[in-house]
Amino acid sequence: MKNKRIAASTFAILIVLILVLVILMADTPTTSACTIHIRKKKPKLDVEISPKVPLFHPDKDGYFYPGCPKITKYLKLINVGDLPFRICKLNATFYGDVYLATGLEIKILELGKGKGEEPNLLYNGTLSNLSEGVEVNGKRAIPQRQSVTLQLTVWMPSTAGNEYQGLSLTADITITVRFPPTHNGGKR
């Protein structure tokens, strides 16, 4: 009799646990839409940049003028979080003579990882167009403890007029990343 009670209690507990799991799973999106992590610590999406100093500086690089040589710099995005990421948006905020951003051109490439891998063009246009934010498609998902290098080239075309003389500008470029890198409405 005692064994029957233990068996009945165990069975009732299992039924309750199964019901709880079914209720919890009912609100869970399909695995194609997200990744479920079961652990005590929440996963984090975190990125560091290198170098942590302004990339373009007139004391080191000179000034931009119509027809000036293109200046190229490199920025590394390092995944210091637990989740992979992919670059999805570029945005710029300007300080100073904002009009100067209409005369400057910028090309941003996501460099390939291996020898012979073609760079991925993220943006090519005026610096001012980045003020509205531009959706881009990063080529690779960057895993934990790995990085991606961006090549930023800035110049002023020879067709720019004299109206840019004497203007100075500071631009902060924001790079937005996303997780999951393959998420596109549940399709792969």
Range with the poorest average pLDDT among 3-7, 111-115, 178-182: 3-7
**What's the average model confidence in pLDDT over 120-124?**
93
Query: For position 17, what pLDDT does the model report?
Result: 46
Query: What is d(CA 147, CA 175) in angstroms, rounded to the nearest whole number?
Result: 14
Query: For position 49, what pLDDT does the model report?
Result: 80
Contact by Cβ (8 Å): 119, 110 = yes
Q: What pTM was estimated for this model as a whole?
A: 0.72
Query: For position 11, what pLDDT does the model report?
Result: 52
**What's the average model confidence in pLDDT over 24-53?**
59
Confidence label for 70 from pLDDT (cuts 50, 70 and 90): very high
Assigned token pair, 153: 């080239």
Contacts of 43 (CB under 8 A, 6+ apart): 37, 81, 82, 83
Q: Is the pLDDT of residue 80 over 90?
A: no
The mean pLDDT of the chain is 77
pLDDT for 19-37, tens place per residue? 444 444 444 444 334 444 4
